[in-house]
Amino acid sequence: MNTPMQNVRVDGATRLFGIVGHPVAQVKTPQLLNARFDASRLNAVCVPFDAPVEHFEAIVQGLKSLANLDGLVITVPHKISARALVDRLSPAAQRVGAINAMRREADGTWLGDMFDGTGLLQGLAPLGFQLAGQRVKQIGAGGAGAAVAHALAQAGAASLAVSDPRQAALSELVERLRHFYPDCKVDIDHNPADVTDTDLLINCSPVGMGTGDGMPVAFGAFPAALQVVDIIMTPAETPLLKHARRFGCNASNGLPMIHGQLEAFARFFRVDPAEPALSTFSDVR
């Protein structure tokens, strides 16, 4: 997937959007959203805001006070804590308990929404991944992990086994999933290294992002039919993905998740408000 051309011109009247994360050097949203603004001839720019955890709240409160900032994308590790900094939550954000986008409403209040899950589904479908009816093993129950699990359950996964060393976050997520998706069998995964009886393995933990990182779990051989997704984007091929491809598995990094939610971001941020017909996913790849 190539990053589309962006042709940004900034002047005093440019409207601001940002992606808030820590770190941010690896994010792809500015390139994608700026190309989208450019295509729509909108005088707007999306920039990265690198917000250390201890300053996150003060940074976002300051950004919200800017008269020319209209919206923020929220990424790791702030998706859960950002929930408290908006005035209202979309139904998806309420279910997931985290947000990955917030925008200023006409009345000055802020609305939070969550597009990671739908982005993942829209991004993976064209790559040949099966989700409905599948037995899923998921590593990581943080903000992005919660969104992914909800999306998988909503997409009709048969079962979902989730592991995370943070027991409180894990229990909360499992309870929420059971509440909202009674048709999906949701369990805490006490043996994450075992991929027998698993159709899809998905890593939503940050392990694999750091240089020198190994796999999030010490896996053995994979069956070739196992589908493997790592939502990390940088490096493009994590140790987990390399391992999966060695066994012939269909494997993808996190970039399709971002591409898959670009049009959702564009709608949410009111790019082309006059055009209800939205371009399709294939336009942005």
Name the residues annotated as catalytic: 79
Cβ contact 44:71 at 8 Å: no
DSSP helix/strand/coil, 159:
strand
How far is the C-alpha of 128 from the C-alpha of 86, rounded, in Å? 36
**Is 34 a binder of a copy of itself (CB under 8 A)?**
yes
Task: Find the part of the chain contacting a copy of itself (CB under 8 A) among 67-75, 113-121, 192-200, 250-258.
Answer: 67-75
Backbone phi and psi for residue 240, each to the nearest 5 degrees, phi listed first = -65, -45
Cβ contact 247:219 at 8 Å: no
Q: Which residue has the tokens 């990265």?
A: 48
Q: Which residues pair with 46 in a beta bridge?
A: 17
Task: Name which of 16 and 184 has its Cβ closer to a copy of itself.
Answer: 16
How is residue 276 written in tokens? 């209800």
**Which residue in 39, 49, 204, 256 binds a copy of itself (CB under 8 A)?**
49
**Is 40 a binder of a copy of itself (CB under 8 A)?**
no
Task: Name which of 73 and 151 has its Cβ closer to a copy of itself.
Answer: 73
Q: How many residues touch a copy of itself (CB under 8 A)? A: 43
For residue 281, give Cα distances in angstroms to 21, 125, 127, 284: 25, 10, 12, 6
DSSP helix/strand/coil, 242:
helix
**Is 231 a binder of a copy of itself (CB under 8 A)?**
no
Task: Name which of 12 and 276 has its Cβ closer to a copy of itself.
Answer: 12
**Which residue in 22, 178, 267, 285 binds a copy of itself (CB under 8 A)?**
22
In the complex, minimum distance from the CB of residue 275 to a copy of itself, in angstroms, rounded to a whole number: 24
**Is 191 a binder of a copy of itself (CB under 8 A)?**
no
Residue type, 208: G
**Which residue in 1, 4, 39, 45 binds a copy of itself (CB under 8 A)?**
45
**Is 202 a binder of a copy of itself (CB under 8 A)?**
no
- Compute the chain's Rg from CA coordinates: 19
Task: Name which of 20 and 89 has its Cβ closer to a copy of itself.
Answer: 20
What residue ranges bind a copy of itself (CB under 8 A)?
Answer: 3, 6-14, 16, 19, 22-31, 34, 45-52, 55, 58-63, 65-69
